[in-house]
Structure 1
């Protein structure tokens, strides 16, 4: 949450409330104070700083390149240096990350996602017009940054907590309970909570370990309130629970009264005047001798719905051990009985533990909440050739839901598995998916039903808690079955785990995205192979003559896929170490972009693999495996070199908006929500002759000239990109699909 205008008020109108502090000195003073108070040895020896991880992401990701999918190895170095700066000063860090979006905050979450969508659209238009990354005014975090940062910090030996409630609330509660030296973040709610001192990450000088402390005690003295009255002030000013609009009439009345009594006060500082006016109102609502509390006085002019809303807003600031309001227990955790009955109590407990300790991904939201969400991804809403990631990975998510929620039973007979289906998805409520993608208005969640694994439904308790080589093999088989890549389990142990997962992911993308070309696959695989030999400095020095918007979207698509690999791995009982699924082991945005430009310009494999014979051999092996896996499912990769011209203007046909063409939304709705057929028009005709790189021949086209690109077997985005309900919709094809597609 955040209080509208409070921080700027403190900085501009009450500068004495903003105190520059040295964190080393603050830690020393905290230890001395703790020793005088006879606290535990642990608290005395380790001054603890609670870090709001979500607020730090924009400050941590200082890498120059951000649109290409992320400079993950460079980012890891940044995190390592950041952590070492504090640990060298004897400061213990505990990182908190948002783990849920509470329903009372859903509309605010949606509003912010829509706003970011606007920035993403501007970013892609800039890239297509200029061929370069836009300035920081359009900066967007690389896709999946919050998810993978949690694992990165854990790999650095840090304590990481993923919230099961509002993260701000849990941060303030933890800091108060453990007498922490401070909360490092960027949210004025930490001024309102009666907890540890609030320290600004935006003002942090990591080289000096100095920042600004926003002092709530000095603030209260400046505006004439008690700390217990700050929650009411916050709600009347407006926050994420109580919007400004709901309390506008209260503020208007307060401003009128304040101006009457203080006609010359703070002229030219409307925000300061507003905060002071509301502060005077709050102060006047109680008699001077009565206890000042966070309760709502009856004299406040509110309707019944407004009073209930204000109660919810104030209750969000009351921490455990503080005075409870009479309208109920605000600390009670939500539950979803419809899903809890589907799993054992041991699974429920493990789901929560994995979630809180940031060891798992996706399983808690599915099993315990029945809802998951995914924030903005760098996707071009004007590019109809590539499906949005939410739809690309929907089939594998359905398999994950099925593995978690559909009952199954596995019998071990003579070293082999006999999988029996028990139950179905018919009586299961659908998972509510709040995924941001072009065309989704986010007015309601997508309702997505679980689907059984292609290889059969194993017992979740056996996968999570079983032991022995048979169970290990079952876990691995379940993981690859989620992505319909069962045969890849044979490569386990033969190649590095990170390369195996990269191969699984690229194979899955090739099967789901029919417009993915051989050149795209070569770019994905060559960068994964070459990345193993490069240090962060080498990756930073890669030169890109220009940027291609399609490569930008493919980079984000890959990274979002890694998060689905994480979810599948967790649901399958963790057959692979989580480190193998991290982007810094298989992806670098700048390296991928360079490989994409090379592949689409017709570069030979030796050039793609940087004249390294061992890398070339490994690359060819991976590509052959992928090609065979796709071929068994009727998917034949086509060579479609699409070398972008080094131009700062979009070509006439690049936006697919020719006269008379029906839009993707109209075509999809006309098809009843399925993928509508769409004829592709490319910017240039394909060359005739010559072979496809990698030994695959290009099909022979009729002598009449360049082929009609409707033969590409492409999917169109239809029905507002949405396919609702339990049915898994098959794509339509302009040619009859081969068996297995």
Structure 2
């Protein structure tokens, strides 16, 4: 992210711009200079996810209790240094950044394909950081995690970097902690590097925009133009290629080829063409074609915080106002509440549906050659349709829809998929949204719960679920939904899900951290990701229904641990009895059996029979399985059904007919395809 090549230039070619700092001393100096304010650091949460997720296991779906412990240690270190933290997360993808977002998502898809190839070849997760993928949903759950830990957390309603830079400047903060050179370009508070942060001695590196300007002989107000000419998320490198080549040719003619000459050349170009005469304004002084002029003006404007001007713009454009696309369908009070809850990181997805009419979902660890398990985007499509149907009109002409940008293997992301709202399979009248959101009578609470269950088509189980607490209800909903939608889960799969959900309630993060699995199974990896992604949609449904369950009860650290699930999966498929899966604990076994009976009963009522079907797990010759670790007397063997057509394997109720068309390609099987256009989309 940020300005192309600027991080490398500052570190390798201009080391004086990278200043080591002691954060504790910096905080003390800040308080002395600003006695009326705290030493506050604003944290770019999206940029810190890789720094935070240091758990050894990542491929299994996430070590969430351990992750919470890491976040708490991070907070404690800053608190001990006298520094207050404020966290920001991206709450939307602005359309001018969509092309860059798509490019990155497709690149990560390639990495995920290589990760699964490694797993199949070596039966282990990759150790290389080049082949690394954060657990699914980590950005979503990190905001809720930090709220749970008592931290001030915000979710943006426009470009996240802009809101961070603006908040930091207007609140007189000590610095911004992140990993994005856009924060060098904004005229805001100092930018501190998360990648150089050492929590043991509370030191990091400050990337100085002032020193950068001195080295390049630029004014601070020139930095946005420099960023746009080098290329960023708004102005691509390709758009400025002609101008940059011209600048580079002139620079090399004078100075020859030197390290970092691209940045030096652009800076010289800016200095040579700076407006010096009366009547010459803005980028008009540059030798530009019209398309370049428009791109530069748009890009420069994006860096200007409220009240700031640029000599490279003839006039400042008014900031775009937040327009609610669905305002005519939804009561104003709900729109306002949805926006406030979104900004305070208290709900998920609803703001994006109502204000932008766009929902996006990043990459998930999914195997492109897996035939039995559909991608999460397809599996949870009916859930999203029903969530949309709670707010938006259900019309026969499909004129009201939500644009979805969802990443999965085979989706080229050339355009969004238009998804129309669908009603709940609900015996009563449509729920009263105003009552669900703002009233607190006991009857309303029951309606909130039944509406949420209706989103997962489990309305008829409202009474039976009253015996369980919120985390187990969450597990029940997701496991039952996955079993019914795929029709490919075995008893062993369900046992693995439920046993880990019961056991995780009684284990500390240190116990979970010490778990080891002898092998990594690619199907178990995808099942883990399916469950964790399902938790995000469960939270979206909880938000849409007025929060029948406390948000903290539906989080993965209350319901799921990747290593524990993987361990239970391997043991269940190797014939391990349920008593052993529940570690010989009678009360755990009793709780598990109660939930299991309800899951299987719900499946039977919907015509889905779940059978025992232990998978013969075959692993490569170079890494044989330890039979004792799998609690099995004979070595498992694999039976792979991937060569059959997916349409023959899958006869479940997933709504592929609405636009998703899974069909294996010749010589490249297992990818999922989108129809060129959904049947209900406009031409």
**Residues 1:382 and 2:374 aligned together:** no
How far apart, in 1, do the equivalents of 2:57 and 2:363 lie?
18
Number of the residue aligned with 1:156: 149
Number of the residue aligned with 1:585: 558
Number of the residue aligned with 1:621: 594
- Structure 2 counterpart SS, 1:161: strand
**Residues 1:128 and 2:120 aligned together:** yes
Q: Which runs of 5+ in 1 are unaligned?
A: 36-40, 407-422, 679-715, 728-741
**Shift of residue 297, structure 1, vs aligned partner:** 2.9
Number of the residue aligned with 1:699: none
**Shift of residue 646, structure 1, vs aligned partner:** 3.6
Larger radius of gyration: 1
- Choose from 378, 381, 392 the match for 1:391: 378
Number of the residue aligned with 2:187: 194
Is the alpha carbon distance of 1:328 and 1:277 closer, same or farther for their aligned partners in structure 2, counting shifts above 3 Å? Answer: closer
**Shift of residue 394, structure 1, vs aligned partner:** 0.4
Aligned residue pairs total: 655
Number of the residue aligned with 2:444: 471
**Residues 1:335 and 2:306 aligned together:** no
**Residues 1:357 and 2:344 aligned together:** yes
- Choose from 76, 84, 102 the match for 1:92: 84
Number of the residue aligned with 2:544: 571
- Choose from 406, 412, 430 the match for 1:441: 412
**Shift of residue 249, structure 1, vs aligned partner:** 1.3
- Structure 1 counterpart SS, 2:238: helix
Asked if the contact 2:402–2:418 (Cα under 8 Å) also holds between the matched residues in 1, the reply is yes
**Residues 1:284 and 2:272 aligned together:** yes
- Structure 1 counterpart SS, 2:197: coil
Asked if the contact 1:143–1:378 (Cα under 8 Å) also holds between the matched residues in 2, the reply is yes
How far apart, in 1, do the equivalents of 2:560 and 2:638 lie?
33
Is the alpha carbon distance of 1:722 and 1:162 closer, same or farther for their aligned partners in structure 2, counting shifts above 3 Å? Answer: farther
How far apart, in 2, do the equivalents of 1:718 and 1:193 lie?
41
Within a 5 Å distance, the mapping from 1:513-662 to structure 2 comes to 513-648=486-621, 654=640, 656-657=642-643
Q: How big is each residue's C-alpha offset from its partner over 1:525-580, in whole Å with a ceiling of 9 and x where there is no partner?
A: 01000111111111111121101000000000000000000000000000000111
**Shift of residue 662, structure 1, vs aligned partner:** 9.1
How far apart, in 2, do the equivalents of 1:3 and 1:673 lie?
38
**Shift of residue 316, structure 1, vs aligned partner:** 0.6
TM-score (norm 2): 0.91
Asked if the contact 2:409–2:672 (Cα under 8 Å) also holds between the matched residues in 1, the reply is no
Asked if the contact 2:358–2:404 (Cα under 8 Å) also holds between the matched residues in 1, the reply is yes
Is the alpha carbon distance of 1:531 and 1:628 closer, same or farther for their aligned partners in structure 2, counting shifts above 3 Å? Answer: same
Number of the residue aligned with 1:504: 477
Q: How big is each residue's C-alpha offset from its partner over 1:275-300, in whole Å with a ceiling of 9 and x where there is no partner?
A: 11110110111256989x9x733231
How far apart, in 1, do the equivalents of 2:227 and 2:347 lie?
35
- Structure 2 counterpart SS, 1:245: coil
Within a 5 Å distance, the mapping from 1:60-79 to structure 2 comes to 60-79=52-71
**Shift of residue 486, structure 1, vs aligned partner:** 1.5
- Choose from 283, 288, 297 the match for 1:297: 283
How far apart, in 2, do the equivalents of 1:648 and 1:394 lie?
39
**Residues 1:165 and 2:158 aligned together:** yes
**Shift of residue 653, structure 1, vs aligned partner:** 6.6
- Structure 2 counterpart SS, 1:99: coil
**Shift of residue 454, structure 1, vs aligned partner:** 1.1
**Shift of residue 308, structure 1, vs aligned partner:** 0.8
Is the alpha carbon distance of 1:718 and 1:241 closer, same or farther for their aligned partners in structure 2, counting shifts above 3 Å? Answer: closer
Is the alpha carbon distance of 1:289 and 1:327 closer, same or farther for their aligned partners in structure 2, counting shifts above 3 Å? Answer: closer
Q: How big is each residue's C-alpha offset from its partner over 1:433-452, in whole Å with a ceiling of 9 and x where there is no partner?
A: 00001121111111110001
**Shift of residue 317, structure 1, vs aligned partner:** 0.4
- Choose from 49, 53, 59 the match for 2:41: 49
- Choose from 242, 249, 253 the match for 1:256: 249
- Choose from 227, 244, 265 the match for 2:220: 227
How far apart, in 1, do the equivalents of 2:439 and 2:661 lie?
41
Is the alpha carbon distance of 1:721 and 1:63 closer, same or farther for their aligned partners in structure 2, counting shifts above 3 Å? Answer: farther
Is the alpha carbon distance of 1:93 and 1:718 closer, same or farther for their aligned partners in structure 2, counting shifts above 3 Å? Answer: closer
- Structure 2 counterpart SS, 1:340: coil
Number of the residue aligned with 1:416: none
Is the alpha carbon distance of 1:229 and 1:664 closer, same or farther for their aligned partners in structure 2, counting shifts above 3 Å? Answer: farther
How far apart, in 2, do the equivalents of 1:28 and 1:150 lie?
28
Number of the residue aligned with 1:318: 304
- Structure 2 counterpart SS, 1:138: coil
**Shift of residue 140, structure 1, vs aligned partner:** 0.3
Asked if the contact 1:388–1:437 (Cα under 8 Å) also holds between the matched residues in 2, the reply is yes
Q: How big is each residue's C-alpha offset from its partner over 1:178-228, in whole Å with a ceiling of 9 and x where there is no partner?
A: 111000000011000000000000000011110000111111011100000
**Shift of residue 491, structure 1, vs aligned partner:** 4.2
**Shift of residue 467, structure 1, vs aligned partner:** 2.4
How far apart, in 1, do the equivalents of 2:157 and 2:333 lie?
18
How far apart, in 2, do the equivalents of 1:582 and 1:522 lie?
20
Is the alpha carbon distance of 1:655 and 1:169 closer, same or farther for their aligned partners in structure 2, counting shifts above 3 Å? Answer: farther
- Choose from 283, 287, 294 the match for 1:308: 294
**Shift of residue 261, structure 1, vs aligned partner:** 2.2
How far apart, in 1, do the equivalents of 2:411 and 2:210 lie?
45
How far apart, in 2, do the equivalents of 1:594 and 1:434 lie?
33
Number of the residue aligned with 1:28: 28
Asked if the contact 1:562–1:582 (Cα under 8 Å) also holds between the matched residues in 2, the reply is yes
Is the alpha carbon distance of 1:674 and 1:348 closer, same or farther for their aligned partners in structure 2, counting shifts above 3 Å? Answer: closer
How far apart, in 2, do the equivalents of 1:331 and 1:467 lie?
39
Is the alpha carbon distance of 1:289 and 1:302 closer, same or farther for their aligned partners in structure 2, counting shifts above 3 Å? Answer: closer
**Shift of residue 262, structure 1, vs aligned partner:** 2.0
**Shift of residue 424, structure 1, vs aligned partner:** 3.9
Asked if the contact 1:491–1:500 (Cα under 8 Å) also holds between the matched residues in 2, the reply is no
Number of the residue aligned with 1:370: 357
Is the alpha carbon distance of 1:529 and 1:318 closer, same or farther for their aligned partners in structure 2, counting shifts above 3 Å? Answer: same
Is the alpha carbon distance of 1:720 and 1:573 closer, same or farther for their aligned partners in structure 2, counting shifts above 3 Å? Answer: same
Q: Which has the higher contact order (CA 8 A, sep 6+)?
A: 2
How far apart, in 1, do the equivalents of 2:403 and 2:210 lie?
43
